[in-house]
């Protein structure tokens, strides 16, 4: 997900996306520990998406205050 797409979302939508990405990250990590993933870079991409979402969420919350 690109930064411009994230900025268009509302605060509640970003929070929902963070929860969904965390769930996906957990399942990827569990699956990877059992048997190697076909594309292990997907774990890194998911972590970076979560960080991107959290950064933009905190920026939006600061702008609201």
> Distance between CA 21 and CA 25 in Å, rounded?
6
Note down the domain range covering 16.
3-64
> Distance between CA 6 and CA 9 in Å, rounded?
5
Closest CA to 21 of 47, 55, 56, 52: 47
From first to last of its 65 residues, what are the pLDDT tens digits of the chain? 789 999 999 999 999 999 999 999 999 999 999 999 999 999 999 999 999 999 999 999 999 88
pLDDT at 57: 96
Q: Count structural domains, the chain.
A: 1
> Which CATH number fits the domain that encloses residue 41?
1.10.287
């Amino acid at each position: 997900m690109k930064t411009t797409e994230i900025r268009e979302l509302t605060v509640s939508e970003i929070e929902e996306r963070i929860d969904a990405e965390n769930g996906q990250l957990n399942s990827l990590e569990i699956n990877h520990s059992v048997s190697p993933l076909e594309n292990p870079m997907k774990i890194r991409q998911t972590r970076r998406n979560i960080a991107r979402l959290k950064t933009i969420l905190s920026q939006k919350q600061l702008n609201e205050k």
